[in-house]
Structure 1
Amino acid sequence: MRKILLAVGLLAIVGLLAYSFSDTQAPAASPETAAAYAAQVRQARQQKDNAFRTAATSPIPVAQRAAFGGLRYFKPDAAYRVAARLTRAADLASLPLALTGGSADAYVRWGTAEFELGGRPQKLTLLQKQGETKELFVPFTDPTNGEQTYGGGRYLDLPVPAAEATEIVLDFNAAYSPFCAYNHAYSCPRPPTDNRLTVPVLAGEQLAPQ
């Protein structure tokens, strides 16, 4: 029987990509800040690669782990870390997400994030897994899918913002592929149709190495 697991929240190692800062401001554009930010991103990526290579719960098939050379990423770019206008939903309406394995998982619409990327307005629905209280889930697609990035889209995980927050930081350098990008034994949530970005997101994880 195939192993059917969710990519979201399954392993702590996915959380290694949560290297966004706890404040709600996009990083300053000074060379010093940009260099420090890039170094932080690279360190988090190295930690994730090491975990994928050695952890017993890695999605990389066991027979391939010894030869696993690491994931492919776009270069860190602070321009893809944006402060978005946050709107909370008046009520947590149910939004089941279809899984690649054929079933569905229970999520709710937590709110929306509106921002500009590449000079064009964008909007993403912020989801929360039913029963979760500390984290938001943002599955999305963009024009890079199927060519530079995984065809089924990518994910962001975000901490639930403070009650008084009016902005939320979306760090697309932390965008990651679902586990089914590495191993077909996993069943992963499909991004909802309203989470299609209109500009290429040249940040985060690229297609898995072949």
Structure 2
Amino acid sequence: MRKILLAAGLLAVVGLLIYNFLGSSAPTPAAPADPAYAAQIRRARQQKDAAFRESPSSPLPAGQRAAFGGLRYFKPNAAYRVVARLTRAAVPAPLPLALTRGSADAYVSWGTAEFELGGRPQRLALLQKQGVGAGQELFLPFTDPTNGQQTYAGGRYLDLPLPTPDAADITLDFNTAFNPFCAYNHEYSCPKPPADNRLSVPVLAGEQLAPQ
């Protein structure tokens, strides 16, 4: 009887440890489906696939385009579309981003976005490109625990419209997260996400690893 009780107690402890582990690392659950939103995401993905296959500016090597069957994506999940509290930098500070093939691109730290994902607080730097190629948008490169497994090892990107001067928040839709071009062609040189732009929870949304 004592052995049975000890075994039962051990199983209970193991069960509790497993529960705590899974609870701490559980992905963000799926939000209620919004058919119109999901259809919009799917249309954008179809357009991108067509551009990768047909556009002269496709990052795919020319010999791979005819056989290209489309990119891999997570299913649209509205839980990964979050509204973040926006804080602008009083004076945007230079934040050069190292490139995958050496040297760096000129960016400034435009501000920060703070939000919750998977029940945990997150904070990401919002960047703005300087010099050649600068535009009226923000750049958000980030990494998360899926990198190197479900998603590209070097992290992913979001492009965001520049908020209006009176905006107090900004929408981050990780369903639109995309890989840098160097994920498809090593001839490209791509900005690396800054070390501080790492999310603590897996982002099971957006673009997955490039098809092999």
Shift of 1:45: 0.1
Cα distance in 2 for partners of 1:108, 1:56 equals: 31
Cα distance in 1 for partners of 2:129, 2:202 equals: 27
Contact 2:142–2:157 at 8 Å: present in 1 too? yes
Contact 2:32–2:78 at 8 Å: present in 1 too? no
Shift in CA distance, 102/30, structure 1 to aligned 2, threshold 3 Å: closer
In structure 2, what is the equivalent of residue 146 of structure 1? 148
Aligned length in residues: 180
In structure 2, what is the equivalent of residue 186 of structure 1? 188
In structure 2, what is the equivalent of residue 172 of structure 1? 174
Cα distance in 1 for partners of 2:47, 2:161 equals: 20
In structure 2, what is the equivalent of residue 82 of structure 1? 82
After TM superposition, what 4+ stretches of structure 1 lie above 4 angstroms from structure 2? Answer: none
Residue 170 of structure 2 aligns with an amino acid whose one-letter code is I
The answer for unaligned runs of 5 or more in structure 2 is: 1-30
Are 1:197 and 2:186 counterparts?
no
Secondary structure, counterpart of 2:122 in structure 1 = strand
RMSD value, Cα: 1.0
Tell me the percent identity.
76
Cα distance in 1 for partners of 2:98, 2:208 equals: 23
**What aligned pairs does 1:126-165 form with structure 2 within 5 A after superposition?**
126-131=126-131, 132-165=134-167
Shift of 1:120: 0.4
Shift in CA distance, 30/76, structure 1 to aligned 2, threshold 3 Å: closer
Cα distance in 1 for partners of 2:32, 2:80 equals: 15
**What TM-score do you get using the length of structure 1 for normalisation?**
0.84
Q: Which has the larger radius of gyration?
A: 2
Cα distance in 2 for partners of 1:154, 1:100 equals: 13
Shift in CA distance, 63/158, structure 1 to aligned 2, threshold 3 Å: same
The answer for unaligned runs of 5 or more in structure 1 is: 1-28
**What TM-score do you get using the length of structure 2 for normalisation?**
0.83
Cα distance in 1 for partners of 2:135, 2:211 equals: 34
In structure 2, what is the equivalent of residue 97 of structure 1? 97
More helix by share: 2
Cα distance in 1 for partners of 2:163, 2:147 equals: 29
Residue 111 of structure 1 aligns with an amino acid whose one-letter code is G
Cα distance in 2 for partners of 1:113, 1:86 equals: 5
Cα distance in 1 for partners of 2:135, 2:75 equals: 32
Shift of 1:92: 1.0
